[in-house]
Amino acid sequence: MPTFIKTGFWENRTLPKQGYKGELNLDYFVSTLIPAVTYAEVISALGYTPEDKSMSAYSMRVNNTNATANATQTTYRSPGIQTYTGSIAWTGTTAPSGATNHSYNWTQIGNLVTLNITLKYAVAGSALTVVLIDLPSDCPNPIKPSGLTSASEKLYIGCGRLSIGTTTSSTTPIAEVSIRTNSTNTGFQVYMQNAASLNVILAQATIQYYTS
């Protein structure tokens, strides 16, 4: 039923039913006299630009400015724990052997990558000082800092340990954990060096580096 607003006169009118003379039929007024507008037209008239809520794969929204602003997309990746099957080279008398339980995990937020690698063997090696672990194939490549672009140069430092057991604390501290370019300058490796030789059965490293 139409909605009327009375304005003072009471004269009945003929069809179409528009009420009494002097009344305002709101339904008729809205449907015939006010032009229809779309949502986009209203938004445009208000000067507002709505944000696009869709997002690219492997991304998150951030505001990397010093002021209030619409969010922009940056990289976010976290594949979870995976089995490590890359190349491992030991320096010393005998490399660890037997059944292995090697894993790695990495996360990228923006251009910062955090990598963790664990190498677990069934049989300990002997008199070991260094291990070189190829960067996992799905990890982003590091950016080489200015002046560190040659083969075998150390690019970023981290922390870790070479250990004689999973519950044993080594009496010989680890000297260095880093990411370096390989000897042919064609790839990247996690480099771990101990201060003295150990019968290593476990190697663990965590390192952060920047990527493009």
- pLDDT tens column, 9-34: 444 455 555 555 555 555 665 566 56
Please report the pLDDT score of residue 191 as a whole number.
98
pLDDT at position 3 over 60: no
Query: Same domain for 148 and 204?
Result: yes
Please report the pLDDT score of residue 24 as a whole number.
56
* 116 is a domain residue: yes
* 62 is a domain residue: no
Please report the pLDDT score of residue 95 as a whole number.
98
pLDDT at position 206 over 80: yes
Tracing tokens 């003072």 back to the chain, one arrives at 8
Please report the pLDDT score of residue 41 as a whole number.
77
Tracing tokens 């004689």 back to the chain, one arrives at 164
* 83 is a domain residue: yes
Query: Same domain for 106 and 197?
Result: yes
Domain that holds residue 107: 77-210
Query: Same domain for 89 and 41?
Result: no
Q: How many domains are contained in the chain?
A: 2
Mean pLDDT of 110-127: 97
* 113 is a domain residue: yes
pLDDT at position 64 over 70: yes
Query: Same domain for 30 and 100?
Result: no
* 72 is a domain residue: no
181-211 b/e with 16+ CB inside 10 Å = b?
Answer: bbeeeeebbbbbebeebbbbbbbbbebebee
Partners of residue 202 on adjacent β-strands: 120, 163
36-71 b/e with 16+ CB inside 10 Å = b?
Answer: eeeeeeeeeeeeeeeeeeeeeeeeeeeeeeeeeeee
Query: Same domain for 97 and 159?
Result: yes
Query: Same domain for 5 and 98?
Result: no
Mark which of 14, 33, 50 sits at the end of a domain. 50
Please report the pLDDT score of residue 208 as a whole number.
98
Taking alpha carbons only, the member of 76, 85, 209 closest to residue 141 is 209
* 58 is a domain residue: no
Please report the pLDDT score of residue 27 as a whole number.
61
Mean pLDDT of 113-127: 97
pLDDT at position 177 over 90: yes
pLDDT at position 116 over 70: yes
* 60 is a domain residue: no
**Reported confidence tier of residue 4, pLDDT bands at 50, 70, 90:** very low
Query: Same domain for 17 and 96?
Result: no
Taking alpha carbons only, the member of 184, 209, 212 closest to residue 117 is 209
- The β-bridge relationship of strands 103-109 and 82-83 is antiparallel
Query: Same domain for 111 and 31?
Result: no
Query: Same domain for 192 and 145?
Result: yes
Query: Same domain for 101 and 163?
Result: yes
* 149 is a domain residue: yes
Query: Same domain for 37 and 92?
Result: no
Alpha helix positions (H), 54-170: none
CA dist 163 and 195 (Å) reads: 12
Query: Same domain for 173 and 137?
Result: yes
pTM of the model: 0.74
pLDDT at position 110 over 90: yes
Higher pLDDT: 185 or 172? It is: 185
Higher pLDDT: 9 or 135? It is: 135
Mean pLDDT of 55-76: 92
Mean pLDDT of 88-117: 98
